[in-house]
Structure 1
Amino acid sequence: MKSLIKTLLLGRAKAPAAALASAMVLTGCISPTAGPGGNYTQPIGGSPVTANPTPYSKGLVCMGHYARQSGVPAPRIAVGRILDYTGKADIEGGRRVTQGASLMAISAFAKSGARLVERFDTSVSELELKYANNKLIGEGADTQFRKITAGSIPGSDFYLVGGITELNYNIRSVGGEAFIGATNATDPKGTIGGKLFVINVGLDLRMVETETLEVVDVISYQKQIIGREVSFGIFDFANGNVFDVGVGGRAQEPIQLAIRSVIERATLEMMANLYGAPTADVCTLTEGAISSNSTTGDYRPARAPLEEYNGPVREEPRHGRF
């Protein structure tokens, strides 16, 4: 009898251990000591780097092609600070909207073919200028140092400033939930539910002429963002066992991508004015003349003909070189 009880206890002790071991295997191979590569484990995933376009990216690239094809000189643009003025923040997650709107605007102007001059972060340039002024930066030989030449830095024709001014939660929401089941406690029962909700973001941007400080263009845009939530569950007794299963899904249009879309739409409209585009659909003007209209921006590699651009290569999820 004692041996039988001991066997049962050992069997019960082994069951949780086996379950724990199985769970650790399912979560991945983790070693308490670093492996030959210096890591405890390999990270999951492996998705390639992809382009990050908006519905207006292609129009921006077409605008740049139109200007080059028509011989319209591209203005020099500087991007200032586009700050978050919504004041919305989570207690744990921090700011709700991106703090990098200025960087999004720089990328948008680059797609449109504008000549960009750096004014957003000049800390490195200022330090280099300070070192050069003190004759600390050499140019090879001991007796040579970098010269400071007057007028070597090009100025901007226009600069962009503004801010993210709106983030409105739950403009409107609608949802429903249903419970289905018989009155008998042992019969199966189920629930199903769904919800839709809408929020929005808004930006106010202005283009300023650098020499006169005259505001030459002002744009205020907003974009609505939709989210949805679906759930389904079932509860049942079967063969003396209880089954409670629930599945669901939740999806929301990315807030930061919506801000990028608003910025690219505003940039498209502003550059259309600066280029003097004759039509809103500039892609039809460059169709056939340019081999590619990449959504990342078509840039001509060094020592390449004008017709050759590396935009398609930049868009490929898996580059041939890697």
Structure 2
Amino acid sequence: MINFASFSKSGRKSASAAILASTMLATACVSPIAGPDGNYAKPIGNAPVTANPTPYSEGLVCMGHYARQTGYAAPRIAVGRILDYTGKADFEGGRRVTQGASLMAISAFAKAGARLVERFDTSVSELELKYANNKLIGDDIPDDFRKITAGSIPGSDYYLVGGITELNYNIRSVGAEAFAGDLDPTDTKGSIGAKLYVINVGLDLRLVETESLEVVDVISYQKQIIGREVSVGVFDFANGNVFDVGIGGRAQEPIQLAIRSVLERAVLEMMANLYAAPSADVCSLTAGAISTNGITGDFVPAGAPLEEYNGPSRQQASAWHDRRDPALRGRN
């Protein structure tokens, strides 16, 4: 930060003109009149879409490979409500933790090769069933309507429910600041500071057998999250001007990614129990396995051989990106 109080009158005018010019330069990319493409401004940033794994995603994929190689029938899993029970919310920013933990759990089960049945949002299916019951859906067959067939919806063997139960702020924090400079007020002074702090999230999940409602597995996990802050400053007089410059940075491990990690670890342990995995080293037992499940999830191949499915491309940052994929660039 530059202290304008020490500037002369002409110096302040020059500085103000420089700031005004910089401001106009910064706003040159924004126009009150839409351009030929119909936009006022071009959005910044060009990072490609990438996979969103955790340290446990590879283990989930290996668990799915292990089940297929050993002949274990993947159970049908339904995921219910995994709610936020922490009650933590910001005054302006809303909830502190994700409200989509159920969706994260569905993705985790898919990575492990489980057969998923939808129970989280059945609104569309229920509406389609209502229309079919009133003979309103035709399915492209002239003078015919969709039939309601008894037993057409597969049931679940187990369902997962639970909640995010902990978000603890400032479990431990530490910081240090230092200021250095001699007694001469015109000599350079410097300061440096650093802070570390730790919070944690926790959740409790249970796996329930659907027919008997017997709870067959319960897991409670927590994960600590670290954050840091570093700052450096310099204060000096030069040519009759005062310069006070400071830089710094903050970084915190993402809270929502930590919740995904805890969920994936819990799902991994539950699936290991259902698959009777001998140890946590199933990846070494399934080296070279081919399957449709990957760190992005799972899907049913649409007629193509298993070896030709597009699972690997889903994990490539350059796939389908018009600036990174050579095949797409060749079409432009």
TM-score by length of structure 1 reads 0.91
State the one-letter code of the partner of 1:124: V
- Are the equivalent residues in 1 in contact too, given 2:113–2:293 (CA < 8 A)? no
CA contact under 8 A between 1:48 and 1:317: conserved in structure 2?
Answer: yes
**Contact kept? 1:298, 1:309, Cα under 8 Å:** no
Secondary structure of the structure 2 residue equivalent to 1:45: coil
Moved more, 289-298 or 129-138: 289-298
- What whole-Å deviation, never above 9, does each CA across 1:105-152 have from its counterpart, x for those lacking one? 000000000000000000000000001101111122442011100000
1:300 and 1:136 mapped to 2: Cα distance?
29
Point out the more displaced range, 296-305 or 177-186: 296-305
Match of 1:136 in 2: 136
Judge conservation of contact 1:293–1:311 (CA < 8 Å) in 2. Answer: yes
Residue aligning to 1:82:
82
The residue type paired with residue 302 of structure 1 is A
Q: 1:13 to 1:168 in 2, by over 3 A?
A: closer
Partner residue, 1:215: 215
Using the alignment, how far apart are the partners of 1:272 and 1:155 within structure 2? 22
Structure 1 residue 308 displacement after superposition: 4.7
1:239 Cα deviation (Å)? 1.0
Cα distance in 1 for residues equivalent to 2:313 and 2:255: 28
Write out aligned runs for 1:100-179 (5 A): 100-179=100-179
* CA–CA distance in structure 1, aligned partners of residues 130 and 293 of structure 2: 42
User: Take 2:110 and 2:313, find their aligned partners in 1: how far apart are those partners?
Assistant: 17
1:102–1:291 CA distance, 2 compared to 1 (3 A)? closer
Q: Does 1:237 align with 2:237?
A: yes
Asked if the contact 2:104–2:263 (Cα under 8 Å) also holds between the matched residues in 1, the reply is: yes
**Aligned-residue offset at 1:294:** 4.2
Match in the other structure for 1:304? 304
Q: Distance in 2 between matches of 1:312 and 1:255?
A: 28
Residue number in structure 1 paired with 2:313: 313
Q: Provide, for residues 251-286 of structure 1, a one-character-per-residue CA deviation record: whole Å limited to 9, x for no partner.
A: 000000000000000000000011111221110110
Out of 260-269 and 65-74, give the one that drifted further: 65-74
User: Could you tell me which residue of structure 2 aligns to residue 73 of structure 1?
Assistant: 73
SS in 2 for 1:55: coil
Where in structure 1 do 4 or more consecutive aligned residues deviate above 4 Å? Answer: 12-19, 291-294
Shift in Å, 1:70: 1.5
- CA offset digits 1:279-308 (Å, max 9, x no partner): 211101101344898422465633333445
Tell me the residue number matched to 1:53. Answer: 53
Alpha carbons 1:300, 1:306 under 8 Å: kept: no
CA positional deviation for 1:16:
5.1
The 3-state SS of whatever aligns with 1:192 is strand
Q: Are 1:163 and 1:205, in contact at CA under 8 Å, matched by a contact in 2?
A: yes
- 1:166–1:201: 8 Å Cα contact kept in structure 2? yes
d(CA) in 2 for partners of 1:25, 1:36 = 21
- Count of matched residue positions in the alignment of Structure 1 and Structure 2: 311
Is 1:180 aligned to residue 180 of structure 2? yes
Structure 1 position 318, deviation (Å): 1.3
Per-residue CA deviations over 1:149-175 (Å, capped at 9, x if unaligned) read 000000000000000000000000011
Are the structure 2 counterparts of residues 126 and 74 from structure 1 closer, same or farther at C-alpha, using a change threshold of 3 Å?
same
Please tell me whether the aligned partners of residues 165 and 203 of structure 2 are also in contact (alpha carbons under 8 angstroms): yes
Question: 1:18 offset after TM fit, Å?
Answer: 6.6
**Cα distance in 2 for residues equivalent to 1:240 and 1:218:** 70
Give the equivalent residue in structure 2 for 1:95.
95
Q: Which amino acid aligns with 1:204?
A: D
Determine if contact 2:65/2:291 at 8 Å carries over to the other structure.
no
* Contact kept in structure 2, 1:74 and 1:114, CA below 8 Å: yes
Verify the 8 A CA contact 1:101 1:260 in the aligned structure 2. yes
User: Is the contact between residue 291 and residue 306 of structure 2 (CA under 8 Å) also seen in structure 1?
Assistant: no
Q: Secondary structure at the match of 1:140?
A: coil
Corresponding residue for residue 64 of structure 2? 64
> Displacement of 1:20 after TM fit?
2.6
Contact 2:197–2:228 (CA under 8 A) maintained in structure 1: yes
> Pairwise mapping of residues 23-42 of structure 1 onto structure 2 (< 5 A)?
23-42=23-42
Q: Secondary structure at the match of 2:29?
A: coil
CA offset at residue 24 of structure 1? 2.6
Structure 1: distance between partners of 2:24 and 2:51: 36
**DSSP 3-state at the match of 2:53:** coil
Q: Which runs of 5+ in 1 are unaligned?
A: 1-11
